[in-house]
Structure 1
Amino acid sequence: MIQRNSERKTMDAIGQIVCASGQAYTAYRQCTLKDRKRTIEAVRKGLKGAVMNLAEMACRETGMGHSVDKARKIALAVDKTPGVEDLQTEVLTNDDGIVLTELSSCGVIAAVHPCTNPIAVLINTTISALAAGNAIIHCPHPRAFHSSQTAVELINASIKEAIGIDHLVSMLPTTGHHVCEQLMNHPDVDMIVVTGSSTAVSAAFRADKKVIGAGPANPPVIVDETADLDRAASAIAESAAFDYNLMCVSEKAIVTLDCVAEPLLTAFARVGVQVLDSKDMEKVERLMFNADGDVARRYEGRPLKEILDRAGVVYHYPAKLAVGEARLNDLLVMKEVKIPIVPMVRMPDFKSALTAASQVEQNYHHTAGIHSRSIERLDEAARAMRTAIFVKNAPFISSIGFGVDVPCAFSIASQTGEGPISARHFTHRRRCVLSEAFQIK
Structure 2
Amino acid sequence: MNNQKGVFSDVNDAIYAATSSFKLYSKLSLRDKEEVIREIRRKLVDYIDLLAEMSLKETCMGNLEDKKLKIKLAIEETPGTEILMSEIRHGDGGFTLFEYTPYGIACAIQPSTNPCETMINNTIALLAAGNTVINCPHPRAMNVSKFLTNIINTIISDLTGIENVVVTLDECKLAYIKEIMNHPDVDLVVSTGGSDNARSAVSCGKKVIAAGPANPTFIVDETADIKRAADCITRGASFDNNIMCITEKNIIVVDEVAHKLEEELKKNGVFYVKDIATMLKLSKLLLTEDMKPNKLYGGKDADVILKDAGIKTDRSYKLIAVETVKIHPFVTEELLMPLVSIVRAKDFDEALEMASDVEQGCRHTSGIHSNRMDRLRLAERVMKTSIFIKNGCSLDGIGICGVGGTSFTIANITGEGAVTARDFSRKRRCVTVDTLTIL
TM-score class, shorter-chain normalisation, is over 0.9
Provide TM-score, normalisation by structure 1: 0.95
What's 2:388 paired with? 390
What's 2:199 paired with? 202
What's 1:281 paired with? 279
What's 1:5 paired with? none
- Which residues of structure 2 form unaligned runs of 5+? 1-7
Aligned-pair CA distance for 1:43? 1.1
What is the letter of the counterpart of residue 383 of structure 1?
R
What is the letter of the counterpart of residue 383 of structure 2?
M
Is this contact kept in 1: 2:410–2:418, CA < 8 A? yes
1:36 aligns with 2:33: yes
Which deviations, in whole Å up to 9, do the C-alpha atoms of 1:218-268 show, x marking residues without a partner? 000100000000000001101111100111100000001111111110111
1:310 counterpart (296, 308, 315): 308
Aligned-pair CA distance for 1:315? 3.2
Aligned residues: 429
Tell me how far apart the structure 2 counterparts of residues 165 and 372 of structure 1 sit (CA, whole Å): 52
Which deviations, in whole Å up to 9, do the C-alpha atoms of 1:156-195 show, x marking residues without a partner? 0000111110000000121121211111111111110000
How do 1:321-336 and structure 2 match up within 5 A?
Answer: 321-336=319-334
Is this contact kept in 1: 2:292–2:329, CA < 8 A? no
Which deviations, in whole Å up to 9, do the C-alpha atoms of 1:251-290 show, x marking residues without a partner? 0000011111111101111222221123222321221111
Tell me how far apart the structure 1 counterparts of residues 164 and 146 of structure 2 sit (CA, whole Å): 13
Tell me how far apart the structure 2 counterparts of residues 419 and 224 of structure 1 sit (CA, whole Å): 26
Q: Which moved further from structure 2: 285-294 or 60-69?
A: 285-294
Is this contact kept in 2: 1:138–1:171, CA < 8 A? yes
Provide TM-score, normalisation by structure 2: 0.95
1:269 counterpart (239, 247, 266): 266
Is this contact kept in 2: 1:274–1:316, CA < 8 A? no
Tell me how far apart the structure 2 counterparts of residues 212 and 336 of structure 1 sit (CA, whole Å): 22
Once superposed, what is the RMSD of the aligned Cα atoms?
Answer: 1.4
Tell me how far apart the structure 1 counterparts of residues 435 and 407 of structure 2 sit (CA, whole Å): 39
Tell me how far apart the structure 1 counterparts of residues 211 and 225 of structure 2 sit (CA, whole Å): 32
- Which residues of structure 1 form unaligned runs of 5+? 1-10
How do 1:7-406 and structure 2 match up within 5 A?
Answer: 13-279=10-276, 280-406=278-404
Aligned-pair CA distance for 1:316? 4.6
Q: Which moved further from structure 2: 36-45 or 115-124?
A: 36-45
Is this contact kept in 2: 1:219–1:368, CA < 8 A? yes
What's 1:8 paired with? none
SS at match of 1:295: coil
What's 1:413 paired with? 411
Q: Which 4+ residue blocks in structure 1 deviate beyond 3 angstroms? A: none
SS at match of 2:362: coil
- Structure 1's 427 and 68: CA in aligned 2 closer, same or farther, altered over 3 A? same
What is the letter of the counterpart of residue 393 of structure 2?
P
Aligned-pair CA distance for 1:294? 2.1
Tell me how far apart the structure 2 counterparts of residues 183 and 313 of structure 1 sit (CA, whole Å): 47
SS at match of 1:254: strand
Tell me how far apart the structure 1 counterparts of residues 227 and 312 of structure 2 sit (CA, whole Å): 25
Tell me how far apart the structure 1 counterparts of residues 97 and 279 of structure 2 sit (CA, whole Å): 58
What is the letter of the counterpart of residue 348 of structure 1?
K
What is the letter of the counterpart of residue 223 of structure 2?
T
